[in-house]
Structure 1
Amino acid sequence: MTDSQPTSAAKHTYDMGLIGNCAFLGLIKMDTSVAWLCWPRFDSSFVFGSLLDTKKGGEYSVKPAEGAFESTQYYLENTNVLRTEIDAGDGRYRVTDFAPRFAQYERYYKPLMFIRKLEPLAGAPRVRVVCNPVGEYGQKQLDRRRSSNHIAYLGLEEEIRLTTNIPLTYILEGEDFALNETKYLVLTYGAPLEAPLENTAEHFLRYTVDYWRKWVKSTSIGDFFQAQVIRSALALKVHQYEDTGAIIAASTTSLPEAPGSTRNWDYRYCWMRDTYYILTAFNNIGHFEEMERYFHYIANISTKLKGKYQPLYGISGTSELVEQELDLEGYLGNQPVRIGNDAYTHIQNDVYGQVLVALLPLYVDRRFVNPERTAPEKLVYEALSFIESTMDLPDAGLWEFRHIAQFHCYTYLFHWAGCHAAGHVARKLGNAEMEARANHLLAEATRRIEACLDEPRGVYTNAIGSPHLDASTLQLILMGYLDPASELAQTHLAALEKELMTPEGLFYRYRHPDDFGTPETTFLICSFWYVEALACVGRIDDAIREFEKLTRYTNHLGLLSEDVDAKTGSQWGNFPQAYSHVGLMNAAYRISKKLDKPNFV
């Protein structure tokens, strides 16, 4: 197991597992090292970040003292509790990693606490525990203070504390020891563990396993590829920052879309473009609580606008996400390493329709009460005004081109969808004037979508006056703009297949050059959109076949990246990518609804 740059022909996967509790996320490698963990928030500096710098990223590991070893990694079924088993020459041991989460005092207990349980399985393996957190993205080394039963790491805003029944001397001096009984490591940020170590760790483990299994039982997930949908749902769940309701696009920053591409972006923020798809995913599995929290995050942003909606916001709703480059070696040497994301300054006009579609259930879904608290008429009128004022303005589009502005078909599609949603709200409120305005703008959006139609080719291009195709226009079928039974839906889909699909069934976002050249890797959610489109137009056997192919592009735990190299099957881009898991969930739901009977796979 090495971290060297893979050859062009090798298959690269992210051999890591995800843990989280909706307050923080962590990525654990198969050698037990914590590759990524940010505290106190998803978008804070890492305290362990060897993923981006093997020297400055700190270390937290439980490795064999010496020699080669083999490892396996798996989740406790239907949970986000991760186990890594190490088989070394002198014995075997298991590390159970989890972030506590369970109901307590009529709310969820989700502390900034990372628990590791070490168990010998065979022999008396000698192990070495290293715990060296860092601050300020590796620029700050922390001071250590030894106490009776814990080590305090000082220098951040709050104390990091490691409480353990392993002799502290072994950890402080880097000495190995024989693991001949169960040991526990509890790492905290801020509030420390002030309770019995062993009993508390075991109780928290049992409560956390029970929480996740009950959560899975409360979902409405059908039989079609059920295990894969459950894993995707669990991954999506922990990408929600529960304190505010925001859902981030991915756990990480600066994992390259392709080696050497410099397409290395910080995805630890909340994109408005993802709103419709995320809410659809939670609705499809019957999870109301996550939807409601996300609704209120969006509504909160809507009430503090500064002239326009941005393409993305911070998890607290912050609007300034200034992009910076850090002096770090980068993942497998890929630079630059970026934090922040300048896409917040871009013009992306589909966001207004996204907001209207997202907020629609607040006013038409009877599970919600007291919608007046979000000032429905004001929000809808504002969004419609934005749609009207941007109808004839070019934008950066869904893919956030940095130096290209066009009249994008996808933008007009969400103008169209947003106006549909506004019309529903208007009828619910009995507001005839609002309904008339929504209908007028609906017609205008339709006219501009039709201006993207290349009639001789029977396909909608990516923008007015452009010859290029774009996978985002699959949404013309999925959102009901095109009748799935129509000949135009069939020819549009066929043209996209011909130009954007690889022989392996993967989809590029587009194939024309952008600010950074021509994309080298396929974008996974586009492949899932293709599967949905196949199901919509009645090609259900094709949809099932292509869906099954896509499930091969997970890592060993069923986790998906942002991008896939079609030739090697390699995972690239930020990881795990919530957007990709949303794509899997929605495609599986679309197929299962088309099947006449359950499909046990």
Structure 2
Amino acid sequence: MTNETLTPEALPTKHLYEMGLIGNCAFLALVNKDTSVAWLCWPRFDSSFVFGSLLDSKKGGEFSVRPAQGGSFSSEQYYVENTNVLRTEITTADGRYRVTDFAPRFAQYERYYKPLMLIRKLEPLEGAPRVRVVCDPVGEYGSKTLSRRRSSNHIAYLGLEEEIRLTTNIPLTYILDEEDFALNEPKYLVLTYGAPLEAPVESTSERFLSSTLEYWRKWVKSMSIGNFHQEQVIRSALALKVHQYEDTGAIIAASTTSLPEAPGSTRNWDYRYCWMRDTYYILTAFNNIGHFEEMERYFHYIANISTKVKGKYQPLYGISGASELVEQELDLEGYMGNQPVRIGNDAYTHVQNDVYGQVLVALLPLYVDQRFVNPDRTNPEALMYEALGLIKTTMDVPDAGLWEFRNLAQYHCYTYLFHWAGSHAARKVARTLGNTAMEALATELNEEAARRIEQCYSPELGAYTNAIGSPHLDASTLQLILMGYLDPNSDRARKHLEALEKELKTAEGLFYRYRHADDFGTPETTFLICSFWYVEALAVVGRTDDAIREFEKLIGYTNHLGLLSEDVDAKTGSQWGNFPQAYSHVGLMNAAYRIAKKLDQPGFI
């Protein structure tokens, strides 16, 4: 990593994020193939990093188990099958060793044990490897150096609100002095924030490991998925799961901040927040795999937001429901020199009117799905009337749209689609509740939203444009097909899809969000979830063979562990944008589900 921003010409032909994700729904971490922890924020997803070499090689601290100084090595990284337990095997001239990294998670005392605890198990595999352990956490995004206190069997790192403690059976002198040592038996590193490990390190680590493996395997076994590319669907589901902050139920867009959408683009954003625009897709993904618990937790997060909204919904909220997410720039190198490094996200100030329909669609199952009981606890009529009222008052208000244009307001087709879908959902709830006045209001808004959507139709293009009076096509209008506004068997749906293919699809099967210039110029990379929307649309209109072919192209854009980024460079296949991107994995899961449903129909083998 350098302070010099890399241009596309200076980069390798294909850039991948060569690191793995671990987590337990209380924290997330990214581990490089050299065993270093590139990213770990404590005590929350949106807290400062304690290890952040991903964004600054000098200020980001370090936690690594590398070979003895000066030795070359090769690395292999993989997950224990059907789990979020990560293994990195290092081969040196002296021998081979393995580091197993995991965040403990398992059932205990009728709830889940998910401590702020990273456990690293070191094992010799061949020969006589020598390793060096470095543990140097930092605070306040690298601006704070922590002091160290040595105790009998642990090292305490002091200076944050709570103590970080490294408990280990490795001689502390080797770690404090950063000296290499012979790894001739299993060793354990248990790093905690707040409550420390007060138990035998070897036996407890092994118990936590076996219990965590068992938890993840049972979770996967309880998934209801088809046979279509099961391995990738499982990996995507496991990645999505750990992006849920279980304490509140919020699901963040991505693990990271400020990884550029394209090198030198300055499109570097903090995605460790919960976007209302993605609610429908997330809930659909969990419903498609039959995981009810995550849906319910997320419903409660959304319902909690809904009950405190005054006047308007924001496009995004913090994992605690916080509404002020003030954007700041930090004095850090940036990923591969890409600046600015941002925390917070000023998109919270934007007008994004599709959120009202998103909330209504999201809350619909609470009142019509028989798996939910006692829906009156969320005061459904008040919530529904409030959201419908907001749709009515914003029907003639331009907004920033799905893609959060910072200096452009339009009457977006996607916004009207969610006005249409949200009022349709409210009408179903009204019928369930027997509220004829609410049903009449929802019907009125549904019909008005449909009229606005039709104003986006261009007879010349044979397609719906991104906004009323706009000539531009936009991948978000694929949702006209996916959400049932357009009859998938109609000529209009077929021609609309063909027009989007012609304008936005690359030869590699990737899809741009749009091709026109925005506040930062013309987009350089494709937005991966749009490509999965395209696959879904192909399946819905009956082009199943095309959908399978394009899906199988897209899974080639994962890293070595099956993890997806936010963006992909169509020319090189490079991963860009924040990583891992939960919504890219949502897109994959939903596309696979659509295809699997088609393959289950008569006529397919």
* TM-score, length basis structure 1: 0.99
Match of 1:497 in 2: 501
In structure 1, give the amino acid aligned to 2:324. Answer: E
In structure 2, give the amino acid aligned to 1:51. Answer: L
Match of 2:363 in 1: 359
The answer to whether the 8 A contact 1:9-1:568 is kept is no
Correspondence 1:516-555 to 2 at 5 A: 516-555=520-559
Q: Distance in 1 between matches of 2:252 and 2:514?
A: 24
Q: For residues 314-361 of structure 1, give each alpha carbon's deviation from its aligned partner in whole angstroms, at most 9, with x where no partner exists.
A: 000000000000000000000000000000000000000000000000
The answer to whether the 8 A contact 1:252-1:574 is kept is yes
The correspondence for 2:132, drawn from 124, 128, 131, is 128
The correspondence for 2:427, drawn from 417, 423, 428, is 423
Q: Distance in 1 between matches of 2:218 and 2:599?
A: 27
In structure 2, give the amino acid aligned to 1:89. Answer: A
In the alignment, structure 1 residue 392 sits paired with structure 2 residue 396: yes
Match of 1:96 in 2: 100
Q: Distance in 2 between matches of 1:412 and 1:86?
A: 53
Q: Cα offset for 1:2?
A: 11
Change (3 A) 1:20 1:405: same
In the alignment, structure 1 residue 15 sits paired with structure 2 residue 23: no
Q: Distance in 2 between matches of 1:3 and 1:196?
A: 43
Q: Distance in 1 between matches of 2:554 and 2:288?
A: 20
Change (3 A) 1:181 1:221: same
Match of 1:478 in 2: 482
Give percent identity, aligned residues only.
84
Q: Distance in 2 between matches of 1:488 and 1:313?
A: 37
Q: Cα offset for 1:221?
A: 1.3
Q: What secondary structure is seen at the aligned counterpart in 2 of 1:352?
A: helix
The correspondence for 1:171, drawn from 172, 175, 182, is 175
In the alignment, structure 1 residue 51 sits paired with structure 2 residue 54: yes
Correspondence 1:516-595 to 2 at 5 A: 516-595=520-599
Q: Cα offset for 1:596?
A: 3.3
The answer to whether the 8 A contact 1:223-1:599 is kept is no
In structure 1, give the amino acid aligned to 2:332. Answer: L
Q: Distance in 1 between matches of 2:227 and 2:389?
A: 44
Q: Distance in 1 between matches of 2:340 and 2:292?
A: 39
Q: Distance in 1 between matches of 2:463 and 2:175?
A: 63
Q: What secondary structure is seen at the aligned counterpart in 2 of 1:303?
A: helix
The answer to whether the 8 A contact 2:2-2:336 is kept is no
Match of 1:261 in 2: 265
In structure 2, give the amino acid aligned to 1:524. Answer: L
Q: Cα offset for 1:595?
A: 1.0
Q: Cα offset for 1:8?
A: 4.5
Q: Distance in 1 between matches of 2:105 and 2:554?
A: 31
In structure 1, give the amino acid aligned to 2:166. Answer: L
Q: For residues 189-219 of structure 1, give each alpha carbon's deviation from its aligned partner in whole angstroms, at most 9, with x where no partner exists.
A: 0000001110000000000000000000001
Match of 1:275 in 2: 279
Aligned-residue Cα RMSD (Å) equals 1.4
Gaps of 5+ in 2: none
Moved over 6 A (4+): 1-4, 597-601
In structure 2, give the amino acid aligned to 1:16. Answer: M
Match of 1:292 in 2: 296
The correspondence for 2:91, drawn from 66, 87, 91, is 87
Q: Distance in 1 between matches of 2:187 and 2:602?
A: 45
Q: What secondary structure is seen at the aligned counterpart in 2 of 1:359?
A: helix
Q: Cα offset for 1:10?
A: 1.2
Q: What secondary structure is seen at the aligned counterpart in 1 of 2:335?
A: coil
Match of 1:38 in 2: 41
Q: Distance in 1 between matches of 2:79 and 2:3?
A: 23
Q: For residues 534-582 of structure 1, give each alpha carbon's deviation from its aligned partner in whole angstroms, at most 9, with x where no partner exists.
A: 0011100000000000000000000000000000000000000000000
The answer to whether the 8 A contact 2:27-2:42 is kept is yes
Change (3 A) 1:600 1:161: farther
Q: For residues 208-257 of structure 1, give each alpha carbon's deviation from its aligned partner in whole angstroms, at most 9, with x where no partner exists.
A: 00000000000101100000000000000000000000000000000000
Q: For residues 282-327 of structure 1, give each alpha carbon's deviation from its aligned partner in whole angstroms, at most 9, with x where no partner exists.
A: 0000000000000000000001112110000000000000000000
In the alignment, structure 1 residue 340 sits paired with structure 2 residue 344: yes
Q: Distance in 2 between matches of 1:430 and 1:179?
A: 70
Q: What secondary structure is seen at the aligned counterpart in 2 of 1:96?
A: strand
Q: Cα offset for 1:456?
A: 2.2
Q: What secondary structure is seen at the aligned counterpart in 2 of 1:332?
A: helix
Match of 1:407 in 2: 411
Q: Distance in 2 between matches of 1:50 and 1:44?
A: 15
Q: Distance in 2 between matches of 1:537 and 1:182?
A: 55
Match of 2:332 in 1: 328
The correspondence for 2:320, drawn from 299, 316, 320, is 316
Q: Distance in 1 between matches of 2:586 and 2:301?
A: 19
The answer to whether the 8 A contact 1:592-1:598 is kept is no
Match of 2:373 in 1: 369
Greater Cα shift, 19-28 or 66-75:
66-75
Q: What secondary structure is seen at the aligned counterpart in 1 of 2:337?
A: coil
The answer to whether the 8 A contact 1:116-1:185 is kept is yes
Change (3 A) 1:600 1:483: closer
Match of 2:452 in 1: 448
Q: What secondary structure is seen at the aligned counterpart in 2 of 1:495?
A: helix
* TM-score, length basis structure 2: 0.98
Gaps of 5+ in 1: none
In structure 2, give the amino acid aligned to 1:64. Answer: P
The answer to whether the 8 A contact 2:557-2:568 is kept is yes
Aligned length: 601
Q: Cα offset for 1:9?
A: 5.5
Q: Cα offset for 1:598?
A: 11
Q: What secondary structure is seen at the aligned counterpart in 1 of 2:308?
A: coil
Q: For residues 114-133 of structure 1, give each alpha carbon's deviation from its aligned partner in whole angstroms, at most 9, with x where no partner exists.
A: 00000000111111000000
The answer to whether the 8 A contact 1:223-1:598 is kept is no
Match of 1:199 in 2: 203
In structure 2, give the amino acid aligned to 1:23. Answer: A
Match of 1:487 in 2: 491
Q: Distance in 2 between matches of 1:346 and 1:110?
A: 35
Change (3 A) 1:527 1:126: same
Q: Distance in 2 between matches of 1:286 and 1:455?
A: 41
